[in-house]
Amino acid sequence: MITIFSAPKPFLGHIDTIQRNALASWTALGQGVEVLLIGDEAGVAEAAAEFGARHLPQVSRNEHGTPLLSSIFSLAHEAAQHPCLCYVNADVMLLGDLLPGVSRTMERFRRFLLIGRRWDVDLRERLRFDPGWEARLRRQIEAGGRLHPPTGSDYFVFPRPMFRRLPAFALGRAGWDNWMIFAGRRAHVPVIDATEAVTVVHQLHDYAHLPGGQPHFRLPESRRNVEMVGGRAAVFTMKDTTWRLGPAGLERKPWNAAGTGRALEAQIYARLGLAPMVRLARLALHPVETFRYYRAAVRRRLGRWLGESRSNPARR
């Protein structure tokens, strides 16, 4: 039915614990689920063997050594055995309501993008995956979980061959997940918010694995992800979805569910893509924010150019 794929971080310390929890939850979904682990980080091969996943080690990286999502998605498309794919971050647990939600969607639509908000939960230990594990986890969610804002997405379900080719986004940095929503809208397919029907759990962690211990959205690679697709116009959120999957099934959202102004703006960007006219439209709609964004981008590029010139006198 579905191929789940992910590119884990090194299996070290607390990250090891939460990634093993996530893997166990994916394999607990039962028959009809294939798991692909992509990359050659420490412990990935061993985890793939332990959980019965297929391991695809040869992933392309950028100049910083960060895996590229273009490579990850291409590898998954080539290796997957099922018609439906699910990319999920390696610290995210999937529960039993995922597959029924995907089945409902596949019965209704041939092409779609299914996403949803996550629950943030602080889990510090390996969970026991006995018959009552999901009920215990749901109680933890009710007791101390926090529904994440609609700005970020941690899983994406879509049929092949959609999203076979992605820009060379850096994995684990901001911006690319927002672009996925934009790309779905741009392709005129149903972009479905499944928050009410599908429960996913993000296990809280620090950012010790990132340069300087900084959150991912503060890193230069996050800015580069956004710049790569033309800037803030491609930053869509869960509010820009067009359909909703709830307990009663699928329903189209009101066209102005995100507010009339935002709905019109998103419609412009989705219709016209990232052509120069769209950038002019964003400048007209958000003049101060757009000016500050491009001023900062010019300063960064000028700084990089000056740095390269100082280190390479031949370029002067």
- The domain segmentation of the chain, as residue ranges, is 2-234, 286-316
15: how many CB neighbours lie within 10 A of its CB? 21
Query: Which strands, in side-by-side order, build the sheet including 54-56?
Result: 54-56, 33-38, 2-6, 84-88, 155-159, 113-115, 191-193, 243-246, 249-252
**Rounded mean pLDDT, 134-138:** 97
Q: Does residue 51 carry a pLDDT above 80?
A: yes
Specify the length of the chain in residues. Answer: 316
List, for residues 79-107, the tens digit of each pLDDT value: 999 999 999 999 999 999 999 999 999 99
Q: Lowest-confidence range among 1-5, 184-188, 234-238, 250-254?
A: 234-238
CA 197 to chain centre: 18
Q: Can you state the angle between helices 276-285 and 260-272, rounded to 10 degrees?
A: 170
Q: Give pLDDT tens digits for 65-75.
A: 999 999 999 99
How open is the CA angle 7-8-9, to the nearest 5 degrees? 130
Rounded CA gap, 316 and 301, in Å? 16
Q: Give the model's confidence band at 289: pLDDT under 50 very low, under 70 low, under 90 confident, else very high.
A: confident
Measured distance CA(276)–CA(303) in Å, rounded: 25
Nearest to 145 by CA among 88, 216, 204, 101: 204
With the C-alpha atoms ordered 65, 218, 233, 237, is the resulting torsion angle positive or negative?
positive
The 10s digit of each residue's pLDDT in 262-285 is 998 898 888 887 666 666 777 777
Question: Could you give the count of Cα atoms lying within 13 Å of 26 in the half-sphere of its Cβ?
Answer: 29
Q: At what angle do helices 220-228 and 287-311 cross, to 10 degrees?
A: 120
Match domain 2-234 to its CATH number in 3.10.310.10, 3.90.550.10, 1.10.3720.10, 3.30.360.10. Answer: 3.90.550.10
What share of the chain has pLDDT > 90, as a percent? Answer: 67
Model confidence at 315: pLDDT above 50 = no
**Cα distance between residue 281 and residue 272, in whole Å:** 10
